[in-house]
Structure 1
Amino acid sequence: MADPELEQIRARRMAEMQQQMGLPQGVESGDGYPGAYQQGGGEQKAEQQARQEELKNTILAGILDQSARSRLNNLKLVKPDKAAMVENMLIQMAQSGQVQGKIGEDHLKTILERVSEQTKPVGKVKFQRRKVFDDDSDDDY
């Protein structure tokens, strides 16, 4: 990372990816409509997803410290949907300028708690079992 040339390449690549992420899905720059590339669409789509994943990882590596990053990776193994929500939230926070410095594990825990509160089930199903009115004292004949 000490090499300024490498930093310039990374900055250029990040700007390029951010520009591409701003476009709607399936539209390349200069295309007039979403179905503009039918041939080889699978390869381009996979390449675009790989670029977006790389950009996401770069942004997250820049805003999370090592312990927070490992916690997020562990969460991704157990609950991928929740981890994706947290990653998107962190990226939005970084892009809007709400993140100053690196986010530590404690701050990430509070973010995870907020996400957990938002994703709690609305209502719980409660089972009420019927009580059988079978009293043994009635069997006295």
Structure 2
Amino acid sequence: MADEELDAIRAQRMAELQAKHGDPGNDQQGQQENKQRESEMRNSILAQVLDQFARARLNNLALVKPDKAKQVENYLIQMARYGQLGGKISETGLIEILEKVSQQTEKKTTVKFNRRKVMDSDEEEDDY
């Protein structure tokens, strides 16, 4: 009788742990659901923050430069969370934000030419 009760308690505890931590088989599905929820949350925040034309411009940017669009989206979401936005951002406002992000992330490359003088046969001095 004690063994049956102990087995029942173990089974119940195992079910609680699997429900709490997730079944390893369902882990990939859980991650996919989390990504989908995060994506929906980002889209809803951006829909509240941007007007229609600004949203279209951001979507066009995402097609060409997905990393820069992601940076701008993160910047806008952060500003919205801290209450730094007064209302919906227009297309011109988004362009200004794009310029700010571009200036912050712009990598300055310098090219240095090291020119060496090569002696040709025409340039040699004749000592006749």
Counterpart CA distance in 2 for 1:135 and 1:100 is 73
Deviation at residue 118 of structure 1 after TM alignment: 1.1
Instruction: Give the structure, 1 or 2, with the largest relative contact order (CA under 8 Å, sep 6 or more).
Output: 2
Q: Does 1:95 align with 2:78?
A: no
Larger deviation: 46-55 or 121-130? 121-130
- 1:121 equivalent in structure 2: 107
Within a 5 Å distance, the mapping from 1:31-50 to structure 2 comes to 31=20, 36-37=21-22, 38-50=24-36
What TM-score does the superposition give when structure 1 sets the normalisation length? 0.67
What amino acid is the match of 2:88? K
Give 1:82's match in structure 2, choosing from 58, 68, 74. Answer: 68
Counterpart CA distance in 1 for 2:56 and 2:117 is 50
Deviation at residue 126 of structure 1 after TM alignment: 2.5
Q: Does 1:69 align with 2:52?
A: no
- Normalized per residue, the structure richer in helix is 2
What amino acid is the match of 1:39? G
Q: Which runs of 5+ in 1 are unaligned?
A: 1-29
Percent identity reads 53
Q: Which runs of 5+ in 2 are unaligned?
A: 1-18
Flag the structure with larger Rg: 2
Runs of 4 or more consecutive aligned structure 1 residues displaced over 3 Å after TM superposition: 133-141
1:40 match: secondary structure: helix
RMSD: 2.3
What TM-score does the superposition give when structure 2 sets the normalisation length? 0.73
